[in-house]
């Protein structure tokens, strides 16, 4: 059996072909979209879980070294790892929100793929993270379908998150491939996510069109300008139909981060003054929110930064705000803050104002947010996304007949208006914002494996 596998930054989903149409497979409590999250007692538990409970061996000597270190660290901490100690998806998120300080939690491992300057052991750890998530999804999908899944087409962005260009893309794709192989997939192919979304849109066409696909995912925005229609459908070689590509590390997570920074962090010290008259260092307010930036997270939550935060508390003219920032440090609340911003972003798409609440140790913080404030906060990522749209059109030197917007953030009225302003005379259409990529990957899997 083959599937299309959208290993996404925000959510994961898989689909197979049934009666000549893609069908998404339920992955958690009847839901098709599994949040891309993992929770474990410790960071070291991931590698031990794969070996002990999934019978997945390390791929090489570096992986074996990582496993030995992990098992030794858990023994030293007196941790007896159980299979149920690793949680995925919504269950992992709910456990983190209830007990953020008591576990290892990671959202969107895909965000770190392609990061340069990492040691081999770090790369193998990311591979283990991805493998654990893929193995869980594969096992769940097989239970749902009562079939063994052997082959998969996995979606990938035009450019991953790293700054290393082709080297970053190669490293990221290699991690995904190795993780998928270890999880039990035999034949593995990759397809660009916007192309996959376009394949699903193409299934509805009765005439030839030039389509600009704008896929605004959790971690990246990707644009593909394609010739599409009945003459191209099910063609094994689509290279001649692809007119232009553009893609960058900017997506739904960035919208949430920018909104959290501008609307929430003033209550944690942003814009406040030190006794010297200088403003609070901006990186101390940005780094805890930068959940898609490994170096920023490491810097903020590192032991060395604790001394800096305590010094800033002593020098702050508004110490109550810095006490909140210290609580972010101690309880690893960066993900929670971004989550509150995401909730506000969704709500403000349908209402002019929204009140966000967050329970801290000694208070309940309540922040009123307005739609106009959100528009202002999202200006930087909005401009980056519209630049990608213009870049794809300029590359092809062709105006599309239609713009097909997809991805979790494609429903944002701020972004839809921004894209419409770039191509004011071109109709803008939508499909299944969350499922178009997955469905298109399943269609491409049929071309690859049947």
For the stretch 105-161, pLDDT in tens is 998 889 889 888 889 999 999 999 999 999 999 999 999 999 999 999 999 999 986
Please, which residues have CB within 8 angstroms of residue 209's CB and are 6 or more apart in sequence?
227, 228, 229, 400, 401, 402
Per-residue pLDDT of 267-299, as tens digits, reads: 999 999 999 999 999 999 999 999 988 889 999
Instruction: Check if the beta carbon of residue 189 is closer than 8 Å to that of residue 154.
Output: yes
Helix (H) or strand (E) holding 222: strand 221-228
Beta bridge partners of 370: 353
Domain 2-185 belongs in CATH node 3.30.420.40: yes
Per-residue pLDDT of 171-197, as tens digits, reads: 999 999 999 999 999 999 999 999 999
Q: Look at residue 431 in the predicted model and tell me its pLDDT.
A: 86
CATH 3.30.420.40 in the chain is located at 2-185, 201-251+380-430
- Give CA–CA dist 368/28, Å, rounded: 33
Coil, strand or helix: which one is 337? helix
Q: Look at residue 94 in the predicted model and tell me its pLDDT.
A: 94
Q: Nearest to residue 426, comparing CAs of 402, 445, 404, 406?
A: 402
CATH number of 201-251+380-430: 3.30.420.40
Phi-psi region of 406 (alpha: psi -120 to 50; beta: other; left: phi over 0): beta
User: Can you point out the beta strands (E) in 249-317?
Assistant: none
Q: Look at residue 293 in the predicted model and tell me its pLDDT.
A: 87
Q: Nearest to residue 348, comparing CAs of 251, 414, 430?
A: 414
Q: Nearest to residue 107, comparing CAs of 26, 35, 14?
A: 35
Q: Quote the radius of gyration of the chain (alpha carbons, Å).
A: 22
Q: Look at residue 161 in the predicted model and tell me its pLDDT.
A: 66
- Give CA–CA dist 180/197, Å, rounded: 22
Instruction: Check if the beta carbon of residue 322 is closer than 8 Å to that of residue 309.
Output: yes
Low-confidence ranges of the chain (pLDDT < 70): 161-164
Q: Look at residue 118 in the predicted model and tell me its pLDDT.
A: 85
């Amino acid at each position: 059996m083959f599937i299309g596998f959208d290993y996404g930054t925000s959510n994961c989903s898989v689909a197979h072909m049934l009666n000549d149409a893609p069908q998404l497979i339920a992955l958690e409590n009847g839901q098709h979209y599994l949040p891309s999250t993992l929770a474990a007692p410790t960071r070291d538990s991931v590698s031990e879980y794969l070996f002990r409970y999934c019978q997945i061996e390390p791929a090489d000597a570096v992986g074996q070294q990582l496993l030995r270190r992990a098992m030794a660290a858990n023994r030293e901490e007196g941790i007896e790892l159980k299979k149920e100690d690793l949680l995925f998806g919504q269950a992992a998120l709910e456990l983190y929100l209830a007990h953020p300080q008591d576990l290892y939690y990671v959202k969107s491992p895909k965000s770190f793929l392609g990061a340069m300057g990492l040691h081999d052991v770090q790369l193998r750890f990311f591979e283990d993270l991805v493998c654990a998530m893929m193995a869980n999804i594969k096992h769940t999908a097989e239970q749902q379908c009562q079939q063994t899944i052997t082959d998969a087409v996995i979606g990938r962005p035009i450019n991953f998150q790293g700054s290393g260009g082709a080297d970053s893309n190669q490293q990221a794709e290699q991690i995904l491939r190795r993780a998928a192989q270890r999880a039990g997939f035999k034949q593995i192919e990759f397809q660009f996510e916007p192309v996959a979304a376009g394949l699903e849109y193409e299934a509805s066409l009765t005439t030839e069109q030039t389509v600009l696909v704008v896929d605004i995912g959790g971690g990246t925005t990707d644009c593909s300008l394609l010739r599409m229609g009945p003459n191209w459908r099910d063609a094994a070689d689509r290279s001649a139909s692809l007119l232009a590509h553009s893609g960058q590390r900017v997506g739904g997570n960035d919208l949430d981060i920018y909104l959290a920074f501008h609307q929430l962090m003033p209550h944690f010290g942003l814009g406040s003054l030190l006794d010297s008259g200088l403003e609070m260092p901006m990186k101390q307010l940005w780094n805890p929110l930068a959940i898609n930036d490994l170096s920023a997270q490491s810097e903020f939550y590192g032991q060395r930064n604790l001394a800096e935060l305590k010094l800033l508390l002593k020098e702050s003219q508004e110490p109550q705000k810095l006490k909140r920032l210290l609580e972010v440090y101690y309880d690893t609340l960066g993900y929670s803050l971004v989550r509150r911003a995401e909730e506000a972003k969704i709500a403000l798409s349908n209402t002019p104002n929204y009140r966000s609440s967050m329970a801290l140790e000694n208070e309940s913080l309540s922040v009123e947010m307005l739609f106009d404030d959100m528009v202002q906060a999202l200006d930087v990522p909005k401009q980056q996304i519209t630049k990608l749209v213009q870049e794809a059109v300029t590359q092809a030197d062709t105006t599309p007949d239609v713009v097909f917007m997809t991805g979790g953030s494609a429903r944002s009225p701020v972004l839809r208006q921004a894209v419409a302003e770039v191509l004011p005379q071109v109709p803008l259409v939508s499909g299944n914002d969350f499922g178009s990529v997955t469905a298109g990957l399943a269609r491409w899997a049929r071309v690859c494996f049947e």
